[in-house]
Structure 1
Amino acid sequence: MDYIMLMFMSMLPIIELKGAIPIGITSGLNPVLVYIVCVIGSTLISIPLIITFRSILKILKQNKLFYKVGNKIDRTINNRMKKLKSITIFGLMIFVGVPLPTTGSWTGSAIASILKMRIKDALIGIFLGNALCGAIVLMFMLYLT
Structure 2
Amino acid sequence: MSVELALVDMLGAVPHWLAVLILGAVPVSELRGAIPVAMGIYGMGPFEAFFFSVLGNLLPVIPLLLFLEPVSNYLRRYSIFDTFFTWLFSRTRRNNTENFEKYGLLALTVFVAIPLPATGAWSGCAAAFVFGVKFRQALPAIALGVMIAGVIVTALTVTGIGLADMVLGV
TM-score range, shorter chain: 0.7 to 0.9
Q: Deviations along 1:61-104, whole A, 9 cap, x unmatched?
A: 44445269649948x97xxx9x9578432111100101100101
Are positions 1:103 and 2:106 aligned together? no
Q: Aligned residue for 1:59? A: 74
Q: Aligned residue for 2:158? A: 142
Q: Distance in 2 between matches of 1:42 and 1:117?
A: 20
Structure 1 residues 32, 57: closer, same or farther in 2, change over 3 A?
A: same
Question: Any unmatched runs of 5+ in structure 1?
Answer: none
Q: Larger helix proportion, structure 1 or 2?
A: 1
Structure 1 residues 72, 30: closer, same or farther in 2, change over 3 A?
A: closer
SS state at 1:144 partner: coil
Are positions 1:131 and 2:164 aligned together? no
Structure 1 residues 68, 111: closer, same or farther in 2, change over 3 A?
A: closer
TM-score (norm. length: structure 1): 0.81
TM-score (norm. length: structure 2): 0.70
Q: Deviations along 1:119-138, whole A, 9 cap, x unmatched?
A: 12111111111111111111
Q: Distance in 2 between matches of 1:71 and 1:42?
A: 28
**Which stretch of the first structure deviates more once superposed, 58-67 or 120-129?**
58-67
Consecutive aligned runs of 4 or more in structure 1 exceeding 4 Å deviation: 71-74, 83-86
Q: Distance in 2 between matches of 1:36 and 1:86?
A: 32
Specify which of 41, 48, 57 is matched with residue 63 of structure 2: 48
**Which stretch of the first structure deviates more once superposed, 61-70 or 40-49?**
61-70
Q: Deviations along 1:16-56, whole A, 9 cap, x unmatched?
A: 00000000011211211110221121112111122232123
Structure number with greater CO (CA < 8 Å, separation at least 6) is 1
Q: Aligned residue for 1:2? A: 16
RMSD: 2.8
Question: Any unmatched runs of 5+ in structure 2?
Answer: 1-14, 162-170
The answer on whether the counterparts of 1:35 and 1:134 sit within 8 Å (CA) in structure 2 is yes
User: Structure 1 vs Structure 2: percent identity of aligned residues?
Assistant: 26
The answer on whether the counterparts of 2:38 and 2:44 sit within 8 Å (CA) in structure 1 is yes
